[in-house]
Structure 1
């Protein structure tokens, strides 16, 4: 009997796929590992670098803490608070307007310039003696960069277009001449007019009228024992107005005589404020700090 021929085993041509799949799997794992290494926490990497630097340089450094959560800020934040209730029915507490020299207040005061203090005291004395005229708006006492200025409207001193002092002018000037005679400062008398032209047999211009009015006041001060060597007379005409000449009120304000007590030093900027007196003049004895003295009013 004939022997059957065995069938030849079929050759598998796709066995390479197994090796290829293993290779792809290993390659994928390799890239995963590489990616995880490159994605290290930045904070840990910084700590590691600082540690290596300290190891090689021998200078220990404190590593910065790894930031987690919200960053902390030491900048104070603004918190809206409810407004405080305003006090009501507070009684006014009277205070001494002019404390005596050397008197201590409730808190420590900053020393002030002696020259400035004298100027303020002089202005206070003059304002007290001319309080009624100041309230009427006919006189103003103020501290300027030049010194203490006493501005007097011309109608208190002169008749219209005239340079001779009226009887009322002498009584007014007597209120301040005793103080002026005791001051060691230069006293400058300035005359001013409005812009209305004048041309008379006596005065050819506003220059002449303003200058002669200043001279008349200087003569009066000399008669009241103010040292002539301390006096200066000047006429400015209409060229230094303090108000508009377009109105009768402005022209009246520009027609004035200014008695300036010249300071040996320029006052500080915080003193360039007019002093205004309202109500009754302050009571009591007014004194001017040394070396300035004033005679008591006659």
Structure 2
């Protein structure tokens, strides 16, 4: 009587599974690192975790992963650059703002595009004017020095409150806000900053940061914002929020 043949064994896992597992661990470490360095914004956390869905299991045949190790390292480099610029801007402005008693008029924060420096208009201009005050120039010099060393592009924005403005020189808040932004840009150019990395925009009263319901809140809206813009970070965050909007439109599926 012949011996029974053993049933044919199923093939083991393919060799690429080891590399795939390593990549998943890198992705998980990367997101944990981002969360440890950033504020706990629940909306962003949800999007970040959502991007991991499907990446920690076996891919369907014909599928490929979205992120490579180079993508991860590039993102980490962008985050580090933003934090370095924010640190330099803050260090340069803190001592001056304290000496000039301007702590309440200047804020430095990270934005979706890079770093934003917000300055209330009373520190820079007389009411209804786009000419920089003499006492504002030391502050502008501090910022110009940081801009000159920064690899980021600079977008200067002018903003006003909602009170109507009608003068021969500035028929509306649009003109005044734009003229103020241009005035700041021209000052930076005069200090040796390359014009190629500078741009100006005026938004009038249409991008308020506070309700226009009191003199105090209107004062917050009358401002100039100097934005250090990282094109790569702006594009990366745009893709992140586009993914969030698409997820919301499809019911989070």
Q: CA RMSD in A?
A: 2.0
Is the CA contact 1:212–1:235 (under 8 Å) kept in the aligned structure 2?
yes
| Equivalent runs, 1:43-58 vs 2, <5 Å | none
2: CA distance between counterparts of 1:116 and 1:188? 19
Equivalent in 193, 206, 229 of residue 239 of structure 1: 206
> Do residues 128 (structure 1) and 95 (structure 2) align?
no
The two structures have a TM-score, normalised by structure 1, of 0.51
Q: Tell me the matched-pair count.
A: 160
> Do residues 210 (structure 1) and 153 (structure 2) align?
no
Equivalent in 169, 183, 205 of residue 136 of structure 2: 169
SS state of the match for residue 237, structure 1? Answer: coil
SS state of the match for residue 265, structure 1? Answer: helix
2: CA distance between counterparts of 1:121 and 1:184? 11
Matched with 1:264 is 231
Structure 1, gaps ≥5 residues long: 1-109, 270-298
1: CA distance between counterparts of 2:88 and 2:146? 8
The two structures have a TM-score, normalised by structure 2, of 0.60
2: CA distance between counterparts of 1:230 and 1:126? 17
Structure 2, gaps ≥5 residues long: 1-71, 238-253
Is the CA contact 2:130–2:179 (under 8 Å) kept in the aligned structure 1?
yes
Structure holding more helix per residue: 2
2: CA distance between counterparts of 1:185 and 1:120? 12
Deviation at 1:136, TM superposition (A): 2.6
1: CA distance between counterparts of 2:166 and 2:104? 29
Deviation at 1:184, TM superposition (A): 2.6
> Do residues 116 (structure 1) and 79 (structure 2) align?
yes
**Which whole-Å deviations, capped at 9, do the CAs of 1:232-253 have from their partners, x for residues lacking one?**
1100000000011101111000
Deviation at 1:125, TM superposition (A): 1.2
Q: Which runs of 4+ in 1 moved over 3 A?
A: 132-135
2: CA distance between counterparts of 1:184 and 1:175? 17
1: CA distance between counterparts of 2:169 and 2:181? 15
**Which whole-Å deviations, capped at 9, do the CAs of 1:75-121 have from their partners, x for residues lacking one?**
xxxxxxxxxxxxxxxxxxxxxxxxxxxxxxxxxxx987111111111
Deviation at 1:222, TM superposition (A): 0.1
